[in-house]
Amino acid sequence: MNLFNPSSGHQPRRLRRHPAMRRMLREHHLRAADFILPVFLVEGEGVRTEISSMPGVFRHSIDSALQLCAEAVARGVSGVLLFGVLEEHCKDATGSASWDAEGLVQRAIRAIRSGYPQLLIIADACFCEYTAHGHCGVLDAGGDRDDYATLENLQRQAISYAEAGVDVVAPSGMVDGMVMAIREALDAARHPQVSILSYAVKYASAFYGPFRDAADSAPQFGDRKGYQMDPANRREAFREMALDIQEGCDMVMVKPAMAYLDIIRDLRERCDLPVLAYQVSGEYSMLQAAARAGWLDLQSSVLESLLGIKRAGSDAIITYYALAAADWLG
């Protein structure tokens, strides 16, 4: 059937002429509740240090992060995603500081839980911010990641987060078997209520550059292409997602977002679990730089980028623009 018939008299533009018509017929919507705000935590008091490659994004001490949480609650943002940024002398070969009951993230979880119980608290579960070598786990003698040893540490990390009061553990290291290991550990430790948001589909992306400045997590040698996905692969994303669902994750994530909208759509069509997307640091920094140069209108371009991620099929979006976008949406 030829759907386009010039003689039909149909003019799609008639449905776009009036602002009320456009609002009424809009197919997808953004809400503040769609957003999760990443938060970079550092030790100290009253610390709020801007990240040079991410203008407008800061590292926060816990007291400063609490102010940020207050802003998130006031705007209706759903949750925060916590990353610990450690000083060099606190790092070691295994990232043991990450499962310290009095660690930076654990103390932040308790403080946010006490002050803002309405906010969803998600904690990133990985080791690149905690290891001296900057890789996402324990390394073997050859410098490759030892996944079995890393899984044991992931279990320790997840339990410590749960005992601090986290709502969601979000493993991001692309360790085979990570979801099953964490689920078993949480259930055995009597934390069945804690959800797992798996970074099921995480590509080895060039768009992570500014994050590595923010989290001080650049690998000291090599790269992460041995465990993160090849950006050229599409079918592999479904296999990764299927494995994590079989292992018991509650939500799946695609990271980054902008260059992987087809992958978000694929996952949306193939599973009924919530699908989240992470608008990563490089996406943020590009939009900021273009807007500061006067080449793009920041508000319009950010909202359009977020709407594109939502239209692709994402249920929620992790974005550094969470507070600003919530303001713009009113």
Please list the active-site residues: 202, 255
The amino acid at 267:
L
| Neighbouring C-alpha atoms within 13 Å toward the C-beta of 9 | 0
Q: pLDDT 10s digit of each residue in the chain, 330 long?
A: 556 666 778 888 999 999 999 999 999 999 999 999 999 999 999 999 999 999 999 999 999 999 999 999 999 999 999 999 988 888 888 888 889 999 999 999 999 999 999 999 999 998 888 888 877 887 887 888 888 889 999 999 999 999 999 999 999 888 899 999 999 999 999 999 999 999 999 999 999 988 777 776 666 666 677 778 999 999 999 999 999 999 999 999 999 999 999 999 999 999 999 999 999 999 999 999 999 999 999 999 999 999 999 999 999 999 999 999 999 998
* H-assigned helices in the chain: 19-25, 62-75, 104-115, 147-164, 178-188, 209-215, 235-247, 261-270, 281-292, 298-312, 322-329
Q: How many domains does the chain have?
A: 1
- Cβ atoms of 207 and 256 within 8 Å: the answer is yes
State the virtual CA torsion across 87, 89, 94, 100 in degrees, nearest 10.
-70
How far, in Å, CA of 32 to CA of 324, rounded? Answer: 10
| Residue 83 included in any domain | yes
Nearest to 257 by CA among 223, 302, 291: 302
Range of the domain at 269: 30-329
What's the token pair of residue 38?
A: 């990443």
| Residue 24 included in any domain | no
Name the DSSP letter for residue 229. Answer: B
| Residue 21 included in any domain | no
| Residue 10 included in any domain | no
CATH of the domain at 75: 3.20.20.70
- Cβ atoms of 100 and 160 within 8 Å: the answer is yes
Render 33-67 in DSSP notation, one character per residue: GGEEEEEEE-SSSS-EEEETTEEEEEEE-HHHHHH
**What would you measure as the largest C-alpha separation in the chain, in angstroms?**
74
Terminal alpha carbon distance of the chain: 43
- Cβ atoms of 217 and 208 within 8 Å: the answer is no
| Residue 8 included in any domain | no
Q: What is the pTM assigned to this prediction?
A: 0.93
Which residues touch 159 (CB under 8 Å, ≥6 apart)?
99, 185, 186, 189, 191
pLDDT for res 220: 67
Which residues touch 290 (CB under 8 Å, ≥6 apart)?
296, 301
| Residue 1 included in any domain | no
| Residue 19 included in any domain | no
State the virtual CA torsion across 318, 150, 205, 65 in degrees, nearest 10.
30
Q: Name the 3-class secondary structure at 26.
A: coil
| Residue 18 included in any domain | no
